[in-house]
Amino acid sequence: MRRGTGAVTLLVAALIAVVLQAWPAHAAASQPCTPDATTGCVTGTVKTAEGQPAAGVSITVEGAGGSSTVTTGDDGVWSVPVTAAGEYTVTIDPATLPEGEQLRDPSATTRTVKVLLNSQSRALFPLGEPTGAAPSAEPTQGATTAPTTDRPSGGDSSATGGVSGKRVMQQLANGLVFGLLLALASVGLSLIYGTTGLSSFAHGEQVTLGAILAYTFVQVVGMDLWLAAILATLCGAASGWLQDAGIWRPLRRRRVGLTQQMIVTIGLSMVLQYLFQFLLGGGRLRIDTTNPKPVAIGPVTLTVQSLLSAGIAAAVLAAAAVFLLYTRTGRATRAVSDNPALAAASGIGVERVIRIVWTGAAGLAALGGVLVGLYFQSTAWNMGGTVLLLMFAAVTLGGLGTAWGALAGSLVIGVVAEMSSLVIPSDMKYAGALLILILVLLVRPQGILGRRDRIG
């Protein structure tokens, strides 16, 4: 009896020893990483050639902060926290890829990323038929010089590999979402032009203001994300009211010309941009530091944040349409936009309407900034300046001074910008959208929904 017990004990001890000896060879499951003042994150998502999450893939990160090996989770996401800034080498183990999967560039099993504290850096390893080319590491540090750095869809739609039906559908979905978010800011810009005749180059900074206020409320104050979004929108609207009360109405009363006012907007834009940079720095700022969850809708993969952002944008735009069509103030706004002198002669308070338009337009731009920051997973001091040209393109393409034209133009610009990356480098996709603008205006100078001016 004692011999049997002793044998069992020895067998259990031997099994434990084997397990303990083999334990270091297995990678730990990846845990979510949240960047802060002492921590940077190296992260990424591995997806199969069909766009599905690849679980159990081994990733090793080596650099100044040491070496760590993790495996991708059920959502294909991996992340490694580091406590020292510097360059890190990210290596994928091809032997751990799902059965039948391979790297698109079999020789590119490593990436080099530069990591800063309180930031994220992303490394991608696209899977699929070998093409001999793979995208480089994607930096995702706390604020962005161009909002196109991060691919919010979760799919590798921008990687090389030819045009396929799935890629076309993915890019179309991305374009529609981006177009809706762009429309939030463009509609307000169009209404300002329609009621005052002023092209405000500082409108992009209203977009930036909304995003950085949301970042401050969430990451500094510790508010809930959606409460922070509401407060950021209200603060943005208040800034529009203050702008009109303190700058634009006094200039209108002094009969300052529109050209001079436009120059003031350019100066205001520059002041605000560098003020944002001075206060927040030039790094990337993430409003929400959690890893976005991908959602597959047929052949299209979007994140939960993208779907929520698109839904909120569509609902707000629908509410704006109801306001303009069916409320007394909305009808007055359209009357002032059509003919301010006639509207004033009809008893409409033109200055009151303009004040409402400035307030509402700034609020819409701030909300757009919050949603764009969530969509691209980061924001920066110059985000508004980056999308300002696209906003002007959308307003001009749709028809100057019309809210419906701004919506139509935004959707066209968003779709064309994303779809153009199927045939041209993604860094040039905004240039493709502006080329479409030029071509459309050559055929229809008044824009899609604009009215042809009568000359003579």
pLDDT digits (tens, 9 = 90+) for 381-408: 888 888 888 898 888 888 877 788 888 8
Flag whether the pTM goes above 0.85.
Answer: no
As a whole number of angstroms, the distance between CA 59 and CA 398 comes to: 47
Percent of the chain with pLDDT over 70: 83
Q: Which residue has the tokens 């992303």?
A: 122
Res 39 pLDDT > 60:
yes
pLDDT of residue 451: 60
226-278 pLDDT, tens digit each: 899 999 999 999 999 999 999 999 999 999 999 999 999 999 999 999 999 99
Q: What is the mean pLDDT of the chain?
A: 80
pLDDT of residue 89: 87
Domains defined for the chain, CATH in brackets: 28-140 (2.60.40.10), 165-443 (1.10.3470)
pLDDT of residue 265: 94
Q: What angle do CA 195, 394, 214 make, to 5 degrees?
A: 85
Give yes or no for a contact between 232 and 293, defined as CB atoms under 8 angstroms apart: no
- Report the range of poorest mean pLDDT among 130-134, 316-320, 370-374: 130-134
Question: Comparing C-alpha atoms, which of 34, 95, 367 is closest to residue 213?
Answer: 367
Give yes or no for a contact between 194 and 402, defined as CB atoms under 8 angstroms apart: yes
45-100 pLDDT, tens digit each: 888 877 788 888 989 898 876 788 888 888 888 888 888 888 888 999 888 888 88
